[in-house]
Amino acid sequence: MTEGVFARGTGHEQVVYCHDEASGLKAIIGIYSTALGPALGGTRFHPYATEADALDDVLALSKGMAYKNALAGLDLGGGKAVIIGDPKTLKSEALLRAFGRFVQSLGGRYITACDVGTYVQDMDIVARESRFVTGRSPEDGGAGDSSVLTAFGVYQGMRASAEHLWGSPELAGKRVGVAGVGKVGHILVGHLVAAGAQVTITDVWEPAIERTRSVYPDVRVVSDVDALLRTELDVFAPCALGGALNDETVALLSAQVVCGAANNQLAHPGIDKQLADRGILYAPDYLVNAGGVIQVDDERHGFDFDRAKRKTTAIFDTTKAVFKLAETEGVPPATAADRLAERRMTEIGRLRSIMAG
């Protein structure tokens, strides 16, 4: 029997199941924390094998968003939504609008945005039923695709990692392997190529590889992630789905730095220690991939790309601060990042107890 939400003891404030039989909508919204503000996080549309898999994902992702938003300095809590099904066949106007009705019913406790399997045009449709939607198209008053600043933030985290490890933020000549060249990975490759890095890529979807090769013909392509891990690398950038760092992949890694866009990269809590024991510097995923949420938060205040990019540039300094705390306290960077995020959630979240009138 699948363990229920309460039995899991994840600490979530609210988990909402959403079902509209006519459109085929089956969705779960997870709200981990509203200590710092409304819970913001994207909607993932994915063909989960089981409902339990979908629940596992939304619980992990929504908690990750709470930490990401806190560490990014945003006045936002953490939430996430998953829609169960293949977006290529199930996605429709009716389904997206039905989902929007459920988002609206939460009265602003949860604010949605794009994620894997959803795009700005989808958010435009969801927004026809809810005010609590970001990541909309510029034509609809939004900021557009947040992948641009997500990739830029990962690039800043990679530069900070290089400075910490090698004494310079420059990536020229560094061998970087990018696993996943979808929305974010493709843009990240552009930053790396412009910086003079030697880039190797892989992706399970051949059209994604073809697109990246057509724009950046000098990148090298390998068949799969295992082949990429066996390649001599300085930096490994996981940019697809979560769980990329497990016991097997860590053992194979030749890279000295792991810094990528994927969420929930650590398959289990002990992985960060394994990386540290092997002398591999890990830039925590939710720290370096926060550029997207910085962008969609800026959209809520009247989007200004230059302002959002300046905020995203700060990921460089925050990453260095995490590495410094990790060294000072003798813990892996993932633990140091968690401590900084938890400190802010506690210190700023408690201010709500002061009545402001």
Rounded CA-CA distance 108/29 in Å is 13
* Domain match, 172 and 134 both: no
- Predicted TM-score (pTM) of this structure: 0.89
pLDDT at 328 over 80: yes
Q: Give the position of tokens 């060294």.
A: 327
Q: With left for phi above 0 and alpha for psi between -120 and 50, is residue 301 left, alpha or beta? A: alpha
pLDDT at 111 over 70: yes
User: Residues 38, 152, 45, 67: is their CA dihedral positive or negative?
Assistant: negative
The mean pLDDT value of the chain amounts to 96
* Domain match, 155 and 203 both: yes
- 243 annotated among ligand-binding-site residues: no
Asked, for residue 98, whether it belongs to a domain, the answer is: yes
Of 26, 63, 80, 174, which one is the catalytic site residue? 80
How does DSSP assign 181-244, residue by residue? -SHHHHHHHHHHHHTT-EEEEE-SSHHHHHHHHHH-TT-EE-SSHHHHHTS--SEEEE-SSS--
The CATH number that applies at residue 278 is 3.40.50.720
**235: which strand partners?**
176, 257
Asked, for residue 112, whether it belongs to a domain, the answer is: yes
Q: What is the CB neighbour count within 10 angstroms for residue 335?
A: 19
* Domain match, 200 and 98 both: no
Asked, for residue 160, whether it belongs to a domain, the answer is: yes
Residue ending a domain, among 85, 108, 140, is 140
Residue ending a domain, among 118, 140, 162, is 140
* Domain match, 125 and 162 both: no
Strands lying side by side in the sheet with 175-179? 220-221, 198-202, 175-179, 235-238, 257-258, 281-282
* Domain match, 213 and 268 both: yes
Read off the pLDDT band of 169 (50, 70, 90). Answer: very high
Burial 239-269 (b: 16+ CB within 10 A, else e): bbbbbbbeeebbeebebbbbbbbbbbbbbee
- 182 annotated among ligand-binding-site residues: yes
- 135 annotated among ligand-binding-site residues: no
Read off the pLDDT band of 357 (50, 70, 90). Answer: low
**199: which strand partners?**
176
Q: Identify which of 131, 139, 51, 43 has the alpha carbon closest to the alpha carbon of residue 87.
A: 43
- 63 annotated among ligand-binding-site residues: no
pLDDT of the residue at 1:
46
Residue ending a domain, among 114, 140, 166, is 140
pLDDT for 48-73, tens place per residue? Answer: 999 999 999 999 899 989 999 999 99
Rounded CA-CA distance 38/179 in Å is 32
* Domain match, 208 and 338 both: yes
Q: Which residue has the higher pLDDT, 263 or 188?
A: 188
For residue 22, what are the contacts with CB-CB under 8 A and spacing of at least 6?
Answer: 94
- 183 annotated among ligand-binding-site residues: yes
For residue 183, what are the contacts with CB-CB under 8 A and spacing of at least 6?
Answer: 145, 147
* Domain match, 103 and 220 both: no
| Structural domain span for residue 236 | 147-290+301-307+314-343
Burial 75-110 (b: 16+ CB within 10 A, else e): ebbbbbbbbbbebeebbeeebbbbbbebbbebeebb
> 306 exposed, middle or buried (CB, 10 Å; 0-12, 13-18, 19+)?
exposed
- 174 annotated among ligand-binding-site residues: no
For residue 335, what are the contacts with CB-CB under 8 A and spacing of at least 6?
Answer: 272, 326, 329
Read off the pLDDT band of 129 (50, 70, 90). Answer: very high
Rounded CA-CA distance 23/40 in Å is 25
For residue 350, what are the contacts with CB-CB under 8 A and spacing of at least 6?
Answer: none
Structural domains in the chain (count) = 2
**Catalytic residue list contains 80:** yes
Asked, for residue 357, whether it belongs to a domain, the answer is: no
**282: which strand partners?**
258
Q: Identify which of 329, 92, 109, 117 has the alpha carbon closest to the alpha carbon of residue 240.
A: 117
pLDDT for 256-285, tens place per residue? Answer: 999 999 988 999 989 999 999 999 999 999
Q: Give the position of tokens 């596992």.
A: 56
* Domain match, 262 and 282 both: yes
Percent of the chain whose predicted confidence (pLDDT) is above 90: 91
The CATH number that applies at residue 100 is 3.40.50.10860
